[in-house]
Structure formats: structure tokens, C-alpha cells
């Protein structure tokens, strides 16, 4: 027997299946990611909103609206749209330049838009990594002013890795990959050249 899933009625904005009481001021406030319930992030809510476009699911939820509903507010960092994404689809803080036409391997450089942070926001509301207090903190330091005792090397907001170290590792990986490709290409060319010479010799004989 085939079970047919009954289609749930859409909300008044036509973007989700949550009831009217979960909607307010053109936005759905239904928490659809329970694991993020206590986290200061907009990602826990349903994406449905009045201004939603087919190509860009961008919520209109803001600090004031969250403060209105939860009694507290925060500023959430927006991901940089210019830098390349890593395997987890997180902004790496890098851009790829000088791509080899054959190997398709490029040279990684620090993204000039976000300066390696992965976000263009200078500050965001987050928990200090040392004292655990929530406040407005620099996205590339992740320590509050009270805990920032000595110079800290800037990190990528999403990965937490040092920007300088990430760039060096990416450049080394790129160089190794290109070197391996060049070696394999040289072997293929030599083999091809050998086959051509052998064919020419046979034709002469």
C-alpha cells in the first residue's frame, strides 16, 4: 500500500505550513531547529517572511523583533558573499586567483572584502571564549575587552581558525596539489611522446 502524505495548508504568506499564531509582522517565529533553541541566532526560526523571494530566502527578523519576543536582542554576523566556501559550505575567508586552465587549481589569497574573517561584520553578539559572558564582541577576536589582555591573532568567525595559519595551510595545499598535477602531466606527455616516436619508427621500417 502506498501512503500519500497529506499536503499541509500554507500560511497567509504562502511560504510555510505553520499556523497564524506563529506569525507576526510578516515573519514566522516558529522554532524549527530545537537544537538551537537557546542559541542567539536567527537560524532557529522558520525562514518564512513577507519579503521572501524565490531566489533569496532572507528573513526580515531583526534585533528589535527578537527583543520584542524574547526580551533580549543580539547582532548576528552575516557571512561574506565574496570569499570561497570550504567543504562544510562555510566562508573560508579566502579567494582563489590565478587558476591553472588545465588543473583548475588556483592560488588562495586573503579575501579583501572580509579580510579573512568570513564575515563583513566587525562585531557581533556572542559569548566570550574566556569569561563566557555574552556581549558585543569583535568577530575576529572572540574575546571581550576585559579578557583581551594581550595581542590575539585574528581568527575566522565561523571556523575559529587563525586567519594567518589558514592562509598558509591553503597555499601549501595548493602548491602540493599543483606539483602533483604537473608531475602526472609530465609523465603523460612523456608517454605520449614515446608512443609517437614508436609509431614513426614502425612506419619507417
Give the pairing of strands 123-127 and 134-138. antiparallel
Indicate the residue among 45, 74, 103 that finishes a domain.
74
Indicate the residue among 74, 89, 119 that finishes a domain.
74
* Co-location of 139 and 81 in the same domain: yes
Could you tell me the residue range of the domain that residue 154 belongs to?
Answer: 75-205
* Co-location of 7 and 48 in the same domain: yes
Q: What is the pLDDT of residue 137?
A: 85
- Report how many domains make up the chain: 2
For the chain, what is the mean pLDDT? 79
* Co-location of 67 and 102 in the same domain: no
DSSP 114: T
Q: Give the tens place of pLDDT for each residue, 67-124.
A: 554 445 567 788 999 999 988 888 999 999 998 888 888 999 999 999 999 999 888 8
Q: How far is the CA of 199 from the CAs of 189, 190, 196, in angstroms?
A: 15, 14, 5
pTM > 0.85: no
Q: What is the pLDDT of residue 58?
A: 43
Indicate the residue among 74, 101, 126 that finishes a domain.
74
Q: What is the pLDDT of residue 2?
A: 44
* Mean pLDDT (whole number) for 22-40: 82
- Asked if 106 and 100 touch (Cβ cutoff 8 Å), the reply is yes
* Co-location of 44 and 29 in the same domain: yes
* Co-location of 105 and 150 in the same domain: yes
Amino acid at each position: 500500500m502506498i501512503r500519500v502524505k497529506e499536503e499541509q495548508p500554507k500560511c497567509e504568506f504562502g511560504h510555510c505550513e505553520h499556523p497564524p499564531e506563529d506569525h507576526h509582522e510578516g515573519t514566522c517565529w516558529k522554532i524549527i531547529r530545537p537544537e538551537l533553541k537557546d542559541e542567539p541566532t536567527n537560524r532557529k526560526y522558520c525562514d518564512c517572511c513577507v519579503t521572501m523571494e524565490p531566489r533569496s530566502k532572507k528573513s526580515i527578523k531583526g534585533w528589535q523583533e527578537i527583543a520584542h519576543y524574547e526580551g533580549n536582542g543580539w547582532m548576528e554576523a552575516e557571512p561574506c558573499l565574496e570569499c570561497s566556501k570550504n567543504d562544510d559550505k562555510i566562508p573560508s575567508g579566502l579567494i582563489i586567483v590565478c587558476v591553472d586552465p588545465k588543473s583548475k587549481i588556483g592560488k588562495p589569497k586573503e579575501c579583501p572584502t572580509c579580510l579573512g574573517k568570513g564575515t563583513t561584520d566587525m562585531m557581533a553578539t556572542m559569548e566570550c571564549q574566556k569569561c563566557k559572558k555574552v556581549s558585543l564582541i569583535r568577530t575576529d577576536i572572540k574575546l571581550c575587552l576585559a579578557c583581551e589582555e594581550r595581542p590575539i591573532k585574528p581568527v575566522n568567525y565561523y571556523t575559529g581558525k587563525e586567519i594567518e595559519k589558514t592562509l598558509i595551510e591553503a597555499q601549501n595545499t595548493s602548491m602540493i596539489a599543483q606539483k602533483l598535477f604537473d608531475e602526472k602531466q609530465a609523465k603523460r606527455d612523456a608517454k605520449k611522446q614515446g608512443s609517437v616516436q614508436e609509431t614513426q619508427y614502425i612506419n619507417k621500417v
